[in-house]
Amino acid sequence: MTQQHIDEIRSFNRFYTGMIGLLNGYILNSNYTLPEVRILYELYYQENVTASMIITTLKIDKGYLSRILFQFEKKKMIAKIRSKQDKRSAIISLTIKGQKEFESLNLASNNQIKKILDPISKDDCDKLLYHMGQIRKIFSASETNK
Amino acid sequence: MTQQHIDEIRSFNRFYTGMIGLLNGYILNSNYTLPEVRILYELYYQENVTASMIITTLKIDKGYLSRILFQFEKKKMIAKIRSKQDKRSAIISLTIKGQKEFESLNLASNNQIKKILDPISKDDCDKLLYHMGQIRKIFSASETNK
DNA sequence: TTGATTAGTTGATTTTGTCAACTAATTTGT
DNA sequence: ACAAATTAGTTGACAAAATCAACTAATCAA
């Protein structure tokens, strides 16, 4: 692996940072911050989530999380129920309102992607997905045998 | 373009956000913040840079930039000289010390990439670069004809 | 059962980023 | 030429985002 390999990967990272920034920038125009959206994402797609699970998967400070969850609770977007198994922790779930909020964020995010993909031909779109898939595959393979 | 296309792209973005986070996280263990590193990057690779040029390329608040540059100046990492053409603006350049600081950051960043690439075979590494190149090509092509 | 660990909360603080007001230099329109 | 508008950069006041450490209550492990 040469210096040129490294340079090119770093160059791609800068490029794709811009891409992601573009997409996140859109979300940041919503009423939620990036950490908030990530937390909503976890709550939406996982069941029986506790705060500490979010902490480990999102690598977020527990105090910070606690406050964000408190805001969500105040807005009636989540509900907490004390776990019977472990009374220290609480199972967190999105309320209907919380789900709807996330879904509308999701929709906005989809539209943003659509807008970016719009000038790209169907054919190139397929290629895009193919290349993305290959990149993930290569990284994931290296992930497993370490 | 279908919903599945969009979902996959979003999934890749989440995946790659983690990747970039990993790399940036490393930088953040240094003595510099992400904006600071990005500014150093601009100063290292471009000549005759002014503050307003950095503002437009990095989309950073001018007050924020002004303070960061002040810190750099205090540490003797940059030098400003009033532009002869336009006495409102100053040409900013890295001092030798500034260059060395950036180079050591750069080196650390390279090593981080190396570590990630280490468990990947030469062959897969080449493929990785190929796929990254193709992704950029497709996005850039769509960029030009808009 | 007691000492250590874990889940989550809270207060204090730091870091990061934004906004608006301001000075000085420059450009534009007449 | 020159007044009005614009631009480069600085500064002060703030707001938002994130971190750190101390703390309570529950659980685990010896």
**Chain A positions in Cβ-Cβ contact with residue B105 (cut-off 8 Å):** none
Band the pLDDT of B94: cuts 50, 70, 90. very high
pLDDT at B28: 63
Nucleotides on chain C within 7 angstroms of protein Cβ: 6-12, 15-21, 24-27
Q: For residue A84, what are the CA distances in angstroms to A87, A89, B107, B137?
A: 6, 9, 51, 54
Percentage above 70 pLDDT, chain A? 93
Rounded distance, CA A67 to CA A37, Å?
14
**Tens digits of residue pLDDT in B56-73:** 999 999 999 999 999 999
**Is A9's CB within 8 Å of B128's CB?**
yes
What is residue A46's DSSP assignment? Answer: -
CA-based nearest residue to A44, from A115, A88, A11, A93: A93
Percentage above 90 pLDDT, chain B: 63
The answer to whether B89 touches B50, Cβ cutoff 8 Å, is: yes
Q: Tens digit of pLDDT for each residue in A76-110?
A: 999 999 999 999 999 999 999 999 999 999 998 89
Q: Residues A49-72: what's their mean pLDDT?
A: 96
Cα nearest neighbour of A123 on chain B: B1
Asked if residue B93 keeps its beta carbon closer than 7 A to nucleic acid strand D, the reply is no
User: Would you state the pLDDT for residue B26?
Assistant: 67
Mean pLDDT of all residues in B41-48 = 92
Least confident of A17-21, A73-77, B83-87, B91-95: A17-21
**B104 burial class (0-12, 13-18, 19+ CB within 10 angstroms)?**
exposed
Element (H, E) at B81: strand B78-82
* Residue A58 clears pLDDT 50, i.e. is over it: yes
Bases along strand D below 7 A from a protein CB? 7-13, 16-22, 25-28
Quick check: B12 and A114 CB within 8 A? no
- The Cα-based distances of B133 to A5, A9, A131, B60, B136 in angstroms read 12, 9, 9, 28, 5
Q: pLDDT (tens digit, 9 = 90+) per residue, B128-140?
A: 999 999 999 999 8
pLDDT value for B146 = 42
Q: Do strands A90-94 and B78-82 pair parallel, antiparallel, or not at all (unpaired)?
A: unpaired
Phi, psi of A39 (to 5 degrees): -65, -45
| pLDDT band, very low/low/confident/very high, at B116 (cuts 50, 70, 90) | confident
C1'-nearest nucleotide to the CA of A53? C7
